[in-house]
Amino acid sequence: MPSPSSRNKSRLGLLKKIGPGILMAGAAIGVSHIVQSTRAGATYGIGLVWLVLAVNLLKYPFFEAGHRYTLATGETLLHGYRRLGPAFLYAFLALNTFTAIISIAGTTFVTAILTPKIPGLESLNPSQVSAVLLLLIFLIVSLGQYRWLSRIIKLMMTVLFVATIAAFLRSVGSDNQTAADFVPPEFWAAASLPFLIALMGWMPAPIELSVWQSLWIKAAEEENKERTSHSEGSVDFHVGYVMTTLLATIFVALGAWVMYGSGESYASSSTGFTQQFVSLYTSKLGAWTAPIIAAAAFTTLLSTTITVVDAYPRSLAATIRLVIPSLPGSERKAHIVAILVCSLAGWLIIAFSAQNLTTLIDLITTAAFLTAPVFAYLNLRLVLSQHLPAEYRPGLLYKALSWTGFAYLVGFSLLFLWQRFFS
């Protein structure tokens, strides 16, 4: 029987290695939860929780692939794509460049909206605040390392997580005063499909985030100077994934219990959005919590934006180095250049297109959903291939869930495109 001291060391070792999964949660718990999940609850009510849970289940295998492949082989998903053939790596590079730019635009813009009125910045509009944030994040990411990124994300998420759970517990069973002329919208109707696609696009996150996980695992192993075992990595992944799923359902519930049926629609303006989001908490916890909630929401979204600005260019730099091994300079320099290029392109989208919050977010998350089948197929092909050791290949249930999830992504994408262009 292990001694108490050995058990304590084992627990400490596991806690030390819980990082990539939390970073995944930090990247996921942002726009998809704070904006899209609360809008879903406010518009369609608590009944939409089942859809959020179903999407998280159907996308699960494609995110889990990032941990599974790297823990089993010691190399990232990008190396796996290269083993499948150059076409797979080129496909990832092309689509990831597109999603990197629009994702940086979306997360930065929402963070800018929730940025506190700091002296010297109060007169700036959201696009100008976005420029300041991107410059600040560039400095943080270019000077920081995995260790500090992991610690910042863990700290930033804690406050909002605790506040969200508290608001949820205070809200359980409560109902709004339903407006006399309120007519419940039908989410099975064709008119609801565009929003449902947008909701599912970043629920719980873009699928290409699985590549970030594999890169973070390698960074964590270098930081800890030892390999992460399959069991340790599995715990890490599932802690993060369960956290993102739980909070997504809670945000749907808060939106439903505070706004659904009240006759009040979710605001598209930056000021209206901020006030409505904070009211989700203050209506249950009291007005005194407003500054705390606003700060927690801002820091959580800032953590998401830091993660997105770091991880998308990091995956692009790593991919380019694999595509062009003879490229001069270090991967670190390529990472910095990629951050600059993607951040500038993202800011241009904000500056020239960000007139309406919900329209911009719906556009970005819809694009993420339509590209999801490609990223899902890359991961599915890889974990079912001979490049993954036989003992780590998925079983029958995992395969069934994977193909079901892939069919769901393809089916809804085709349905959306048909409605958009042919009906």
pLDDT per residue as tens digits for the range 303-349: 788 888 988 998 999 999 898 887 777 777 888 899 999 999 999 99
Residue 340 counted as domain residue: yes
The token pair at 23 is 């970073």
126 cis-preceded (ω within 30 degrees of 0): no
Residue 103 counted as domain residue: yes
pTM metric for this prediction: 0.84
* Per-residue pLDDT tens over the stretch 202-211: 888 889 999 9
325 cis-preceded (ω within 30 degrees of 0): no
Residue 9 counted as domain residue: no
Residue 75 counted as domain residue: yes
SS3 (DSSP) at 380: helix
Residue 112 counted as domain residue: yes
16-25, 69-78, 110-119: range with highest mean pLDDT = 69-78
Element (H, E) at 134: helix 126-143
CB 14 within 8 A of CB 232: yes
- Confidence grade of residue 11 (pLDDT, cut at 50, 70, 90): very low
The token pair at 76 is 């990232």
Q: How far apart are CA 369 and CA 174, in angstroms?
A: 33
> What is the rounded radius of gyration, in angstroms, for the C-alpha atoms of the chain?
21
* 214/155: higher pLDDT: 214
Q: How many structural domains is the chain composed of?
A: 1
Read off the CATH number of the domain in which 384 is found: 1.20.1740.10
- In 10 A of CB 49, how many CB atoms? 19
pLDDT value at residue 42: 82
The token pair at 101 is 């730019």
Residues 6+ apart with CB under 8 A from 155: none
15-19, 296-300, 371-375: range with highest mean pLDDT = 371-375
31-35, 192-196, 375-379: range with highest mean pLDDT = 375-379
pLDDT value at residue 113: 83
Residues 6+ apart with CB under 8 A from 414: none
Is pLDDT above 90 for 271?
A: no
Residue 2 counted as domain residue: no
Residue 11 counted as domain residue: no
Q: How far apart are CA 5 and CA 11, in angstroms?
A: 10
Residue 10 counted as domain residue: no
- Confidence grade of residue 61 (pLDDT, cut at 50, 70, 90): very high
Range of the domain at 56: 17-173+182-422
The token pair at 145 is 């390392």
